Amino acid sequence: MTTLRIAPPPEHRHERSKRRTNISENRAFRFACERCRITRGEVGFTLAEVLITLGIIGVICAITIPNLVANYKKQVIETRLAKFYSSINQAVIISENINGAKESWEPIPNAGSTTINGEKSAKSIIWFNKYLSPYIKTLKVTSDIKKTATIVYFPDGSCMRLIGQGIQFYPNAKDFKGTKEVKDSGIKWFTFAFTPSAIGIDNAWQWASEYHYDKGFEPYKWSWNGDLNKLITDTEYGCNINNKNERAYCTALIQANGWKIPKDYPLKF
């Protein structure tokens, strides 16, 4: 007797085909997962490896970031030192056309206070306003806490402390805390001098220095004999870490290197 097979309706055939497809996809997925588990050790990273890598990155950052910050500070100092030297001496040259030769100018008051517009101020403000203020761009001109020195703020973020023939220049005005700190000389501030007539306050003492007579604002070189090594080793003004006095020669040391801080500069920033 022959058995007749009746074909299932079309919708049943579609369901059966769909189930076969799902089974095939599930098998393929399981196969892929098994392969991942087999090869995971070859392409993945363990926790220890990740921690070691992060540790290495941390060490590299700890070494390089301080150097990058120090190099940036050096570049700011070099740029602003050179700019100050140029702009302040240009102001001197322009002022000479109005106020006569700088050798005939009144000396910068060494200290003391006076009253300006009813307020106590440093005497050197009067000198600055007369000889330099009209010929150089500034943000603010004021007195220090003691009212004995003039503080001049410049647009590039630097400032100058003006008192007597010794001038302290701060490449970063934020480093000026109201009075100069000797330990920061050659690092946060740098010494210049302005003694074109070679005569001190009230002719009380003489500045017999070829590096300042008939000159404008120059890096401090009083009693220097021209030996570059002495700019470092001098016991009174030398630019070295052991000098507990004002390291006034540091400015001249940088100037001698083309306004670039030497690679073997004795102080750290």
184-222 pLDDT tens trace: 999 999 999 998 886 544 444 444 467 888 899 999 998
Length of the chain: 269
**Radius of gyration in angstroms for the set of CA atoms belonging to the chain, rounded to a whole number:** 37
**Alpha carbon distance 94, 119 (integer Å):** 30
Positive or negative, the Cα torsion across 94, 176, 116, 148? negative
What mean pLDDT do residues 10-36 have? 54
What mean pLDDT do residues 164-170 have? 91
Lowest mean pLDDT among 61-70, 74-83, 115-124, 260-269: 61-70
Beta strands in the chain (DSSP E): 113-116, 119-122, 140-143, 150-153, 159-163, 166-170, 190-193, 218-219
Shortest CA distance to 98 belongs to which of 143, 150, 133, 145? 133
**Alpha carbon distance 215, 92 (integer Å):** 10
Beta strands in 62-164 (DSSP E): 113-116, 119-122, 140-143, 150-153, 159-163
Q: pLDDT at position 8, please?
A: 56
Shortest CA distance to 78 belongs to which of 264, 262, 268, 267? 262
**Alpha carbon distance 187, 234 (integer Å):** 17
Q: pLDDT at position 108, please?
A: 92
Q: pLDDT at position 172, please?
A: 97
**Alpha carbon distance 80, 16 (integer Å):** 83
**More confidently predicted of 63 and 203:** 63
Q: pLDDT at position 137, please?
A: 97
Lowest mean pLDDT among 85-89, 165-169, 252-256, 259-263: 165-169
The residues near 250 (Cβ < 8 Å, ≥ 6 apart) are: 185, 186, 190, 191, 231, 239, 267
- pLDDT value at 165 more than 90: no
Q: pLDDT at position 204, please?
A: 40
Q: pLDDT at position 26, please?
A: 59
Q: pLDDT at position 208, please?
A: 47
Output the six-digit token pair for 141.
């001109």
**Alpha carbon distance 206, 189 (integer Å):** 25
Confidence of residue 82 (pLDDT cuts 50, 70, 90): very high
Q: pLDDT at position 179, please?
A: 79
Per-residue model confidence as pLDDT tens digits over 221-244 = 988 989 999 999 999 999 999 999
